[in-house]
Amino acid sequence: MNGITLKNIRGDYGTFGVVRGNPGDVLRDFTFENVDVKLTNGAANLAVLENLTTRNFLINGHPCAPAPATPMTGQATPAPNAP
């Protein structure tokens, strides 16, 4: 999947969910824009995305910057001050 934009997401959730493809898939050029969510677990699993762009992306009131992509590891990107 390439060139995906998710924007104007707001709310209270348990998790942000998981973004992943099938083995061998490359997920690139994703943009998250105007996201303000409160998560019970305080993490967003976005490490599998290549060329991730975030604009005004808040988790639990803190800016969430993308971690460098690592192929299909599914490593979580913790929000600041996550328990």
23 in a domain, yes or no? yes
Give the range of the structural domain holding residue 12, as residue numbers without chain letter.
2-78
* Spatial separation of the C-alpha atoms in residues 73 and 62, rounded to whole Å: 24
Q: What is the band of 41 on the pLDDT scale with cuts at 50, 70, 90?
A: confident
The tokens for 9 are 């997401």
Percent over 70 (pLDDT), the chain: 78
Q: Read off the pTM.
A: 0.71
User: For residue 83, is it within any domain?
Assistant: no
Total tally of structural domains belonging to the chain:
1
Among the listed residues 38, 24, 26, the one whose alpha carbon sits nearest the alpha carbon of residue 2: 26
For residue 39, what are the β-bridge partners? 13
**pLDDT of 83:** 45
